[in-house]
Chains A and B, each alone.
Chain A
Amino acid sequence: MNYRYTTPEVIGLLETLTLTNGGSGDEKAVRDLLYQEIKDHVDSIRVDQLGNMIVHKAATATPSMKVMVAAHMDEVSLMVVDKKDEGFLEVRPVGGIDANALSAKPVVIGKDSIPGVFSARTIHITSASERKSLLDYEKLRVSVGKKKIEKINPGDYVYFMTPFERLGDFFAAKAIDDRVGCANLIWLLKNAPGHIDLYGVFTVQEELGLRGAKVAAYQIMPDLGFAFDATPAIEPPLMDSNEHNYAYNTQTGRGPAIYTVDRGQVHNEKVIFLIRKVAEKHDIPYQLRQPGGGGTDSSAIHMTGSGIISQSISVPTRYLHSPISMMRQDDWEHTLHLIDTLFSELSPEIIKE
């Protein structure tokens, strides 16, 4: 297909974003990168006390509507909690990571990006029963060597050392959750229609409980809110082997995921209806994310003040919250196409009773 939105330049930005490290509470490097990318295209930028970067692109047409779009800068990461003898570190996750995804993975630690490797069981000398047992953080260590460990302290962040690669129709990288949302928000800030008084918020600490979005929405009190994020696509053979397990959340190749009900929010039916109408009009494939658990910055926005209509639009992505995740280019392309056409058609009608 012909990619109008995910141009080499846009892909390049995603690559740089995913290769930059920014765990929850340590988003500065990502923020600085986004600042350089957007500063010449907007009216004002400020950083609040939690570290959210609030970017304002004022409306140039009337009637306008005040719209907040959140994309979180933080990725799942880990933190050093203790230094052990023989150059080993004990670590704990910052955000949800399954310990079983970590064995033998390369990482970098702290401000100086000291390389390390997660420990692994060696198949030669493990018993069959040992191999069947699950890993947990008590059993895992990161080895960095006796010399380098002296420069590491408890509290240092640990990041996955994962390259950005194209694998056929897919991109594979760490932190697609939610650097793809950040890239989408950058695109929107550069291309927003004139009647949108746009507050783009690159939020912090989403992975620890939507903390940045909560205080940002309070500062902005928009008419309408959005979250741009990535959402799991759980596909065979990793799905539960039970043939009746239909809990896939989303599927890759079916277009952007429109949230309906998640743990934190019942999304507004009028907005969902508008999105479906716009998608169908422009022939953009989309999918309704399966109702269930999970949540995005959108749910923090919608509970702000006396209530704000808010919607989450996410890109389906495999292996989220692991050292490497995979996203299809066409899903991403369709997401940006949908964002483009949807924002052009947004009007204050949508928030009227």
Chain B
Amino acid sequence: MKELLQTLVQAIGPTGHENTVRELIKTLIEDHVDEIIVDALGNLIARKGKKQAGGLRIMLSAHIDEIGVIATHIDEKGFVRFTSLGGVRPYTAYAGHVRFINGTQGVIGMEPVDSATTVQPLNRMFIDVGAESKDTCPVSVGDFGVFERPFIDLGKRVVSKAMDDRAGAAVLVDTIRQLKQSPHELWFVFSTQEEVGLRGARTSAYRIEPDVGIALDVTLTGDLPKADTMDVALGKGPAIKVKDSGMISSPAIVGWMCDTASEFDIPYQLEVLVGGTTDAAAIQINKAGALAGCISIPCRYVHSPSEMVDMDDIENAVKLVVKLLENPVEFTN
């Protein structure tokens, strides 16, 4: 699993240009699913099984885009001005390493600041790709890039860019491979453009029209020094989402997830996230609506190039999803 996760997080997939990640996942799952669709927004949509008696149509979504940068202007000296794709904070951007899709690497600099504790906004920063003039700059306006940083293996815990949400994608890939049978019609969506507004999930939910939607994504934790209060910690199991700022999980789904985890002795925690949301929010209000919930991987330093997760949480998330999907379930209102 660690190897799978490392492969996924190190692939480049800024919002809107997820094709490298999509092709990678396609090769990992194509022998284990019945049908694969790539839609207009670039979502990788894989179906496994057909709805049987007592079965439901279930959509599971993990987004494959990551936050990044896009070039807006190349100045005369060859410096690249840029804006963000998704939520990039200036203090995690400065002095960061960037890799553009065309392979060009660079480092982020900024205009002078008055004090050592302040940082310029992104529009006062620039990417230095080592070019000496506009003409020799290998980057053009509209080029997409991501933040780069090596994968660190700390044992049980690992650190990388793009854990948000390749950790969720890894859970789904492993689930697809481990799941032997299910009464449900399962639609695994590796969605695009989540970071700019759940766009891929919205159009794929429209296509699938699921009875139940589940997102696999990362969530924040409250286990850091002086952290805001939040009862989610690394290593205490996958977090079953109760509420975030875009969705109130369907109570039936929360109950189903908690009961299943308890039944199979899988550790879990309950999540109430104050800011942020997931693909499940888009699925829940698709067309005439669906039951929806989310299983989150606790993650520290989200939206920085050094996101940390605990491998136990990921393994337990796979266990939980497999158990949820193996058996029939009936929801009563």
Chain A interface residues toward B at CB < 8 A: 244-248, 260-261, 266, 268-269, 272, 288, 290-292, 302-303, 305-309, 351, 353
6 nearest CB pairs, A to B: A266-B16, A307-B203, A306-B207, A307-B40, A246-B73, A260-B142
B38 at the interface (CB under 8 A from A): yes
On chain B, the residues within 8 Å of A291 by CB distance are 70-72, 83, 141-142
Q: B129-173: which have CB < 8 Å to A?
A: 140-142
Closest Cβ neighbor of B141 among chain A residues: A288
Distance in Å: Cβ of A31 to nearest Cβ of chain B: 30
On chain A, the residues within 8 Å of B203 by CB distance are 303, 305-307
Count: A-B pairs, CB below 8 Å:
67
B43 at the interface (CB under 8 A from A): yes
Distance in Å: Cβ of A276 to nearest Cβ of chain B: 10
What are 7 residue pairs bridging A and B, where the CB atoms are less than 8 Å apart in the complex?
Answer: A247-B72, A260-B142, A261-B85, A268-B40, A290-B72, A306-B39, A307-B40
On chain B, the residues within 8 Å of A351 by CB distance are 40
Query: Is chain B's binding surface mostly helix, strand, loop or mixed?
Result: mixed
Per-position contact with A for B178-206: 1 when CB-CB < 8 Å, else 0? 00000000000000010010011011101
Give Cα A288 to B38, complex, Å: 27
Closest Cβ neighbor of B43 among chain A residues: A307
On chain B, the residues within 8 Å of A290 by CB distance are 72-73, 141
B17 at the interface (CB under 8 A from A): yes
Contact (A307, B81) CB under 8 Å given A247-B72, A266-B15: no
Distance in Å: Cβ of B99 to nearest Cβ of chain A: 17
On chain A, the residues within 8 Å of B204 by CB distance are 306-307
Distance in Å: Cβ of B242 to nearest Cβ of chain A: 28
Q: Which of A244, A266, A305, A307 contacts B196 (CB 8 A)?
A: A266
Distance in Å: Cβ of B107 to nearest Cβ of chain A: 18
Closest Cβ neighbor of B203 among chain A residues: A307
By the criterion CB–CB under 8 Å, are B142 and A272 in contact?
A: yes
Give Cα A302 to B196, complex, Å: 14
By the criterion CB–CB under 8 Å, are A292 and B40 in contact?
A: no
B259 at the interface (CB under 8 A from A): no
Q: Which of A246, A266, A303 contacts B202 (CB 8 A)?
A: A303
Closest Cβ neighbor of B36 among chain A residues: A353
Give Cα A12 to B203, complex, Å: 41
Closest Cβ neighbor of B17 among chain A residues: A269
Chain B interface residues toward A at CB < 8 A: 15-17, 38-41, 43, 70-73, 75, 81, 83, 85, 111, 123-124, 140-142, 193, 196, 199-200, 202-204, 206-207
By the criterion CB–CB under 8 Å, are B142 and A246 in contact?
A: no
On chain A, the residues within 8 Å of B75 by CB distance are 246
Give Cα A292 to B122, complex, Å: 12
Give Cα A105 to B273, complex, Å: 49
Q: Which of A292, A303, A307 contacts B72 (CB 8 A)?
A: A292
By the criterion CB–CB under 8 Å, are B38 and A353 in contact?
A: yes
Give Cα A269 to B202, complex, Å: 20
On chain B, the residues within 8 Å of A269 by CB distance are 17
Give Cα A308 to B39, complex, Å: 8
On chain A, the residues within 8 Å of B70 by CB distance are 260-261, 291
On chain A, the residues within 8 Å of B196 by CB distance are 266
On chain B, the residues within 8 Å of A288 by CB distance are 140-142
By the criterion CB–CB under 8 Å, are A305 and B41 in contact?
A: no
Distance in Å: Cβ of B274 to nearest Cβ of chain A: 24
By the criterion CB–CB under 8 Å, are A302 and B40 in contact?
A: yes
By the criterion CB–CB under 8 Å, are A292 and B41 in contact?
A: no
Contact (A247, B123) CB under 8 Å given A272-B142, A288-B141, A303-B199: yes
By the criterion CB–CB under 8 Å, are B142 and A307 in contact?
A: no
Give Cα A241 to B124, complex, Å: 14
Contact (A309, B40) CB under 8 Å given A247-B123, A261-B70: yes
Distance in Å: Cβ of A194 to nearest Cβ of chain B: 25
On chain B, the residues within 8 Å of A261 by CB distance are 16, 70, 85, 142
Contact (A292, B111) CB under 8 Å given A306-B207, A307-B39: no
Distance in Å: Cβ of B308 to nearest Cβ of chain A: 28
Closest Cβ neighbor of A223 among chain B residues: B40
